[in-house]
Amino acid sequence: MQENRNKTGFIFDLDGVIVDTAKYHYLAWKNLADELGIKFNEDDNEKFKGVSRKRCLEILLEMGELSVSEQQFEAWLVEKNEDYLKYIEKMDQTEILPDVEKVLQYLKKRNIPMALGSASKNARLILEKVRLLSYFETIVDGNSVTQAKPDPEVFLMAAAHLNVEASNCIVFEDAVAGIAAANAAEMTSIGIGASSVLSEADHNYNDFTEIDLAFLDKLIINSSIA
């Protein structure tokens, strides 16, 4: 990938950017919370966006003021994930968020290196389900990193895998922690969602339908049409 060196790299978060898996995370966490007698609603689920599975369970148990053995903690992590995977199993291309594939196709046509940078350990499976895996040169996910967002590790690793300079990378993110991670990596951050929430992003859009191709062109250096 030496040829990527002076190019612009694009890095996409998964949940909330490419697909809305937050609703399935919510259902699975809600099932576990009900079982444990912990009150949990969709507002509480906001705190779980972009946050690792382990940290989500820690937050849930703090909400219920429960302290448990390591073994029990691991068992609940497995239980939540098995429940979540039942929803993921049914996913298909119809769940790709509007205009995401249009942007991926455009960048692919321009030979732009693209990576996924997600906290999810299920990222590859989800991309396979919605048939977008082939757009990405590399997948950096919850299995690859040791530090969770807002640490920049996930995005710096993605840039290294693409062999693109970090300062030449553009990151699409829907979580506050993800924007902080992109900014810490000295990348250009694009917030997808409410600008009042993602106020630290360099650019803000509610979703990909608001992003025109001319804006992407301005962000791109040294590309070539495939």
Enumerate the active-site residues.
Answer: 13, 15
**Site for ligand B16 contains 129 (CB under 6 A):** no
Out of ligand B16, Mg ion, none, what residue 114 binds, judged by CB under 5 to 8 A for its kind, is none
Nearest CA among 145, 115, 152, 156 for reference residue 18:
115
> Alpha helix locations (H) across the chain?
22-36, 42-46, 53-63, 70-88, 100-109, 123-129, 153-162, 176-184, 213-219
Here the tokens at position 162 are 């693409």
**Site for ligand B16 contains 193 (CB under 6 A):** no
**Site for ligand B16 contains 120 (CB under 6 A):** yes
How many residues at the interface with ligand B16, by CB under 6 A?
A: 20
Taking 3-state DSSP, the helix, strand and coil percentages for the chain, each rounded to the nearest 5, stand at 50, 10, 40
Q: Count CA within 13 A, CB hemisphere, residue 32.
A: 27
Q: Nearer to ligand B16 by C-beta: 122 or 189?
A: 122
**Site for ligand B16 contains 121 (CB under 6 A):** yes
Distance CA 135, CA 55 (A): 30
Q: Nearer to ligand B16 by C-beta: 104 or 175?
A: 175
**Site for ligand B16 contains 192 (CB under 6 A):** no
**Site for ligand B16 contains 139 (CB under 6 A):** no
* One residue of 11, 32, 38, 51 binding ligand B16 per CB under 6 A: 51
Nearest CA among 55, 74, 59, 53 for reference residue 142:
53
Binding site for Mg ion (CB under 5 A): 13, 15-16, 50, 174-175
Distance CA 35, CA 86 (A): 18
Nearest CA among 207, 213, 149, 210 for reference residue 16:
207
Nearest approach, Cβ of 226 to ligand B16 (angstroms)?
27
Segment 7 to 26, residues that bind ligand B16, using CB under 6 A: 13-16, 25
Nearest approach, Cβ of 82 to Mg ion (angstroms)?
22
Residues engaged in binding ligand B16 (CB under 6 A): 13-16, 25, 48-53, 56, 81, 118-122, 142, 175
